[in-house]
Amino acid sequence: MRYDNPELQDLLAAEFVLGNLRGAARRRLIALMHQSPGVRARVERWEERLFPLMMKAPRVKTPASVWRAIQARINPRRSPARAAWRAWRGIALAGTVFALAALVYVGIAPPGPPPITMVAVLNDARAQPGILMSWTPKQAAERRVRVRILAHPDMAAGTSWQAWLITEGGDAPISLGFVTAEENQALELSTAAANALPKAKAIGVSIEPKGGSVSGQPSGPYLFQGPALRVDG
């Protein structure tokens, strides 16, 4: 993978800030941030864009069971010696069970493939990111594509925003469904769209009449558009 590609750097920076970059891919980007001021600046710009959205997220109340567990660890009722013995015995037993399970699993299960995510950051005419789309092989099999609205103008009344899959073969764009104003959403794909996902080259979003394009194709230029790139790890 060419990490010197500016578009790929921007996609990875966005996924990093959103928390979707995991494992080896996340570690590689962190290493790049230390080596490249440009990559670090891209991550900082995404943090500035997304921090206001994160602040709008509703707070989650901590369950009472969590507080009880913390209190039990801080102030156990049993004597220290007895509690320590029970803890060590539990850890030893759990460790033995885990080791046996791991040996059985390694013996019978082949190593799985590295996780893959396809991502597309759709920019407007001013090259400003407005929509983030992503999907994994599992989500593609379930005919779903995740959508996150980063920033966009208001939708005009009597119109629909329709997403289109642009394939590598140069075939006619395939409709992925309609994008709404909700920050987080998922597109439920048709069978034809799901089958075409492996050939994804880019994704565009056009403004159509209410209910979608009459011709089955984009009625005008894309309001948002961006390449679909594969992220390994």
Both tokens of 44, joined, read 């900082």
Grade residue 160 by pLDDT with cuts at 50, 70 and 90: very high
Mean pLDDT of 145-172: 88
Rg (CA), the chain: 23
Range with the poorest average pLDDT among 14-18, 39-43, 55-59: 55-59
Q: CA triplet 224, 125, 9: central angle to 5 degrees?
A: 75
Candidates 4, 18, 40, 24; CA nearest to 147 is 18
| 91 contact partners, CB below 8 Å, separation of at least 6 | none
Residue 3: is its pLDDT beyond 60? yes
Q: How many CB atoms lie within 10 A of CB 182?
A: 10
Average pLDDT, the chain: 76
pTM for the whole thing?
0.56
> What's the confidence (pLDDT) of residue 103?
41
> What's the confidence (pLDDT) of residue 50?
63
**Residue that wins the pLDDT comparison between 210 and 106:** 210
Highest mean pLDDT among 5-19, 36-50, 193-207: 193-207
Mean pLDDT of 103-125: 65
Residue 130: is its pLDDT beyond 70? yes
Please report, rounded to a whole number, the percentage of residues in the chain having pLDDT higher than 70.
Answer: 68
Question: Phi/psi of residue 194, each to 5°?
Answer: -65, -40
